[in-house]
Amino acid sequence: MPMLRDYIENGINEIRILLLGGQVLLGFSYRPYFEPGFDRLSRNAQITQTASIVVLTLTLIWLTSPAIYHQLADRGENTARFQKFTADVLNWGLLPLAVGLGLNGFVIVSFMQLPHASAYGVGVCVFALAFWYAFTWMHRDSSQSTKVRAKLLEEEIQQGKSGGTEIETKIKNLLVECRMVLPGVQALLGFQFTTFFMAGFEKLPRSSQLIHLAGLTATAIATVLIITPAAYHRIAEAGEDTEHFHQIGANLLLSSIIFLGIGLAGDFVVILRLMGMSLHSSVALGCAMLGAAYAFWFGWGWWKRDAR
């Protein structure tokens, strides 16, 4: 008999694995813009590098969505629909991650001025997709998935009759979700701090430098907020699992996501400026990305909450 809480916990931990891999790629993708070697890249390679930023940023937004969905749509309850949403995020999250690997591979080979850079990038992407999708789908048992889904729905019904998810399980999931979001915040903050001391930062217009500082400030606030539940649980609640702490922790998690979005949008604006776009166009695209991220993170969660 499957346990709903175990399936959900495993799903969250598997998303953490993807985020840790994406963290490395995202940190690398930002750094070349401020290194002297970036100017030696061909225009096609520079555009490809920017495309990888877009793809990996969307991947980060996609992979962090289950934490928001769980707290907004299901109020931290373990539900079969949240388990399915987590599984869907995992399934589709591998695709842009593979594309990001391929794009970065193309840029590296182009920088080394080796032939067949496109073939190398495509090869890396196809290799990842072969293992992540083709290999796993060959061993997939669709009938087993249907049976598990039915049993999880049945368990959710029984759980509802007994009063819902235990508070201990809700808090455990909340803390794991905070750790799930942290790698994305960590990758962005590390890049933002080191950028100030790179040679390329001095070449930025003053407006772009201030935008970068604003993005760093937002990401730093997100970092503080995402770590606070652990401190609050240990100090204010003496480690006790209470409904009050769950509410506080959920609000801190959701608040950190708001500032994470601002940090992502700020650095996206700076990257577009480095690619030669005007300030107004860069800010407009950055705001569009931020609005789309908020719509997916919070709009989707609130809509599903009402639907429930």
The one-digit pLDDT tens for each residue of the chain (308 residues) are 458 888 888 889 899 888 888 877 887 888 889 888 888 899 999 999 999 999 999 999 999 999 999 999 998 899 888 998 999 999 899 999 999 999 999 999 999 999 999 999 999 999 999 999 998 888 777 666 777 777 877 877 777 777 778 899 899 999 999 988 887 788 788 888 888 888 888 888 999 999 999 999 999 999 999 999 999 999 999 989 999 999 999 999 999 999 999 999 999 999 999 999 999 999 999 999 999 999 999 998 888 886 65
Instruction: Give the contacts of 74 (CB within 8 A, at least 6 positions apart).
Output: 81, 82, 305, 308
Q: What is the DSSP string of 57-77?
A: HHHHHHHHHHHHHHHHTSTT-
Token duo for residue 113 = 């001025």
HEC string for 231-275: HHHHHCCCCCCCHHHHHHHHHHHHHHHHHHHHHHHHHHHHHHHHC
The domain ranges of the chain are 4-307
Contact 254, 71 (CB under 8 A): yes
